[in-house]
Structure 1
Amino acid sequence: MNVIIIEDEPRTANDLKATLVSLDNSINVLAILPSVSTAVAWLQSNPAPELIFSDIQLGDGLSFEIFKEVQINAPVIFCTAFDEYAINAFESNSIDYLLKPIEEDRVEKSLQKFHRIKGHYSSAGNLDRVISQLTKQYKQSLLVHYREKIIPVKVADICLVYAANGLVNLHMTDKQEYTVQYTIEQLENMLDPKHFFRANRQFIINRDTVQNIEHYFNRRLVVHTACPTPETIIVSRLKANDFLRWIEQ
């Protein structure tokens, strides 16, 4: 999940970034933006993030000015030392309002709230996107380059996808491994989410190959699959409930 932080206090911004990654290591903080002007410039020249954390009082103005200047569809979680801006916040795509100092459990609750509503939020006023999602055709096979050959592999035979050290590998149910040119984000969009789950930043797993699940400390989960894994597959506590519901579907 791509996130930006709008915050003019470096320590506060870095603490928030560390908290987000500790809660869910699939969160990717694209940028920390310290002012209204830098945030406007960044948002005008980059693809929109999925979620924005924003302070309200910045060195060159209030962050509400950003959202007047740039059309933003992403939800915003405002973080501030003052509660006087709450009404304005909820007029600016806000889904939550955190008072500083920000505690980890409040950030966690805000992220859980975001996950509960993101489907409705992203589709609101965007019928084309909804239709696209409903009619999307997912890959049934992929072409891989292997020893001077091009080999078609069935998606159903993929045990898991593993990304590390700049490489993305398909681990097949027959124990074969193939390196592909796709990023893990591209593969996530190609694979049917009914059958494949993005467990974390490194793994996508096939539900049919999940053998068992263990509880892990800090309310996380460890997933064991039918094929050997290069490292332990850990599902963050924020994704744990979604993962268990997905397994039961």
Structure 2
Amino acid sequence: MKIVIVEDEPRAARQLENLLHKSTFDFEILTVIDSVEDSVSWFQKNISPDLVFMDIQLADGLSFEIFQKTEVSAPIIFTTAFDQYAIQAFKVNSIDYLLKPIKQIDLDAALHKFSRSQSPSNPIEANILKELLSSMQTPQERSGILVKEGSGFVQIRISELLYMYSQDSITFGITHNKRYIIDETMDQLFDSLDHTKFYKINRGQIISKIAIQKIEPYFNHRVKLTISNPRDQEFIVSRQKTSDFKDWMNK
């Protein structure tokens, strides 16, 4: 069984590979791809694999955008850290979906389901995809978030957050005068935010539009941001996201 993994988090990709090795299935991982752009290029140039594991939120956008730009005939098992996507992903004719962190028992069940499927995967339905993309681009606005303070939790307003970042597997949220620990992964957090107000500029940083003070060109076709209360953080928009980030700033 030839497998392609589409995942922008190296740690998550390694975890999936380790779980696959613990399964009873014979497989070969052809490639691991971390962006919509590179996925489109790969599927256009290569023979279809037997199965694709595909994260929903990639470095440069939602993986559903891949199907708008090229044909993917292989069955898809979607993976996601935030379960609002689970039912929606299933409607896009995937074999299954897996919630992160992925458990061995769930992966094995998805693989057995794939092996029992005798019919090829259905093509992605354009009308379902259109509705799906629309719903994800306009999430219900979240007003508050629980953060750790001392031995307990307090709620702060989302509007107070200037940016969020991940360090040593801990998610931090920064306001004008304080740093908080947020008990969510970066993917879970970003998926729950209003994407017209917050942008995930790279794998480890989410910024609020109101916190951006300056945008400057940076090497390798990237841009560097000056942000309120930077706290020794450097804010570089990844190369894959630079064009989309500029479009986001213009809205």
Q: Same fold (TM over 0.5)?
A: yes
Residues 1:241 and 2:225 aligned together? no
Aligned to 1:221: 223
One-letter identity of the residue aligned with 2:136: Q
Of the three residues 172, 175, 178, the one matched with 1:172 is 175
Which secondary structure state, in structure 2, belongs to the residue aligned with residue 230 of structure 1?
coil
Counterparts of 2:73 and 2:153, CA distance in 1: 50
Based on CA coordinates, which of the two structures has the bigger radius of gyration? 1
Task: Name the counterpart of 1:133.
Answer: 136
1:148 aligns to 2:186 (yes or no): no
Shift of 1:160: 0.3
CA–CA distance in structure 2, aligned partners of residues 66 and 160 of structure 1? 40
Give the count of matched residue pairs.
171
Q: In the alignment, which residue of structure 2 is the partner of 1:66?
A: 50
The structural deviation recorded for 1:166 is 1.1
Q: 1:161 & 1:122 partners in 2: Cα distance?
A: 34
Instruction: Name the CA shift for 1:182/1:241 in 2 (closer, same or farther; >3 Å).
Output: same
Name the residue aligned to 2:27: 38
Measured in 1, the distance between the counterparts of 2:179 and 2:124 equals 36
4+ runs deviating over 6 angstroms: 70-74
Residue matched to 1:11:
none
In structure 2, give the amino acid aligned to 1:92. S
* CA drift at 1:193: 0.5
Deviation of the 1:143 alpha carbon: 1.4
Q: How does 1:83-102 map to 2 (within 5 A)?
A: 92=73
The separation in 2 between residues aligned to 1:91 and 1:203, in whole angstroms, is 30
Counterpart-to-counterpart distance in 2, 1:124 and 1:181 = 36
Map residues 187-198 of structure 1 onto 2, 5 A cutoff.
Answer: 187-198=189-200
Alignment RMSD, CA only?
4.0
Any stretches of 5+ residues in structure 1 without a counterpart?
7-16, 18-25, 41-48, 57-62, 77-88, 94-120
SS of the equivalent of 2:248 reads: helix
Residue 181 (structure 2) pairs with residue 200 (structure 1) = no
Amino acid of the residue matched to residue 165 of structure 2?
Y
Q: CA deviation at 1:202?
A: 1.0
User: Do 2:164 and 2:171's aligned partners in 1 also have CA atoms closer than 8 Å?
Assistant: yes
1:27 pairs, out of 1, 5, 8, with 8
Q: Which runs of 5+ in 2 are unaligned?
A: 30-34, 55-62, 75-122
Report percent identity of matched pairs: 24
One-letter identity of the residue aligned with 1:242: D
Within 2, Cα distance between the matches of 1:208 and 1:184?
A: 19
Give SS of 1:133's match.
helix
Counterpart-to-counterpart distance in 2, 1:222 and 1:145: 30
- Structure 1: which amino acid aligns with 2:27? T
* Counterpart amino acid of residue 196 in structure 2: K
- TM-score normalized by the length of structure 1: 0.56
Question: What is the CA distance between 1:144 and its match in structure 2?
Answer: 1.4
Contact in 2 for aligned 1:123/1:130 (Cα 8 Å): no
Matched to 1:38, the amino acid is F
CA contact (8 A) 2:138 2:194 kept: no
Q: Name the SS of the counterpart of 1:126 in structure 2.
A: helix
Distance 1:230 1:135, change over 3 A: same
Q: 1:92 to 1:247 in 2, by over 3 A?
A: same
**Partner of 1:191: helix, strand, or coil?**
coil
Separation in 2 of the partners of 1:150 and 1:143?
Answer: 6
